[in-house]
A = this chain, B = another copy of it.
Amino acid sequence: MDVGVLYSGGKDSTLAALLLEPFYDVTVVCCTFGVTDEYQHAMDTAARVDLPAQSIELGREIAETAATQIVEDGYPRNGIQYVHEKVLEAVAEQTSFDAIADGTRRDDRVPTVGRPLAQSVEDRFDVSYLSPLAGYGRQAIDALVEELLLVESGPSDEIPKGDYETEIRALLTEKHSSELVEEVFPEHYQSRVLNRK
């Protein structure tokens, strides 16, 4: 059985891929909206941790709709949820994996993929949806990451990331002041995976 794992090069999506690896043929899928080429950081991380990778270009309008939503709301939550759902659907539609997966965790507030959405994706695209970290809390995930991965942490402007939030932030910065972007969509302390231990 093959699975495509939505992949940013971060701890969560890397751990999700590693939990699936003993049971599935894993390919990590690095998505871009064509705004920047930061998905290449995710491709680089995949190469370092020795996970087969492919990139997919998704419609720029997905990122634009999310960016508009985030500015209207004044906070990123709904925009992030929107973009995650659209990315899941697009990857399910554009690929032919037996299953698609992501790194959403039990304790995440956003994005979340509840049972109705999971079953809807499965029914519409004839694919299994897997969230291998959904049954793990923060403490257990931190312990697994500590055991399995070599991770670099630091302020977000010093840590290259390959997630689609970076592209949404770039879109926002094109259209608005960086002060507004920092206000509605703050960046935090970031981490990225350097290698397996």
Report A's interface with B, CB cutoff 8 A. Answer: 1, 19, 22-23, 98-99, 101, 106-107, 115, 118-119, 122, 128-137, 139-140, 143-144, 147-148
Given the interface pairs A19-B23, A143-B1, A144-B23, the reply to whether A132 lies near B135 with Cβ below 8 Å is yes
Interface centre among A119, A129, A130, A140 (most CB of B within 10 A): A140
Interface centre among A119, A133, A135, A144 (most CB of B within 10 A): A135
Pick the residue among B23, B133, B139 that contacts A122 (CB under 8 A): B139
- A136: chain B residues within 8 A (beta carbon): 128, 130
CA distance A118 to B140 in the complex (A): 12
What's the least CB distance linking A81 to chain B, in Å? 17
Q: This chain: how many copies in the complex?
A: 2
Known: A98-B143, A122-B139, A130-B140. 8 other contacts (CB 8 A): A1-B147, A23-B144, A23-B148, A107-B119, A128-B137, A128-B143, A133-B135, A135-B135
Instruction: Say what secondary structure dominates the interface of chain A.
Output: mixed
CA distance A101 to B1 in the complex (A): 25
- A147: chain B residues within 8 A (beta carbon): 1, 23
Across the A-B interface, the 5 shortest Cβ-Cβ residue pairs: A134-B135, A131-B135, A128-B140, A134-B134, A22-B22
- A119: chain B residues within 8 A (beta carbon): 107, 137
Chain B residue at smallest Cβ distance from A140: B128
- A101: chain B residues within 8 A (beta carbon): 135
Chain B residue at smallest Cβ distance from A106: B115
- A22: chain B residues within 8 A (beta carbon): 22
14 contacts between A and B (CB under 8 A): A1-B147, A23-B144, A23-B147, A23-B148, A106-B118, A107-B115, A119-B137, A128-B136, A128-B140, A130-B135, A130-B140, A131-B135, A132-B132, A134-B134
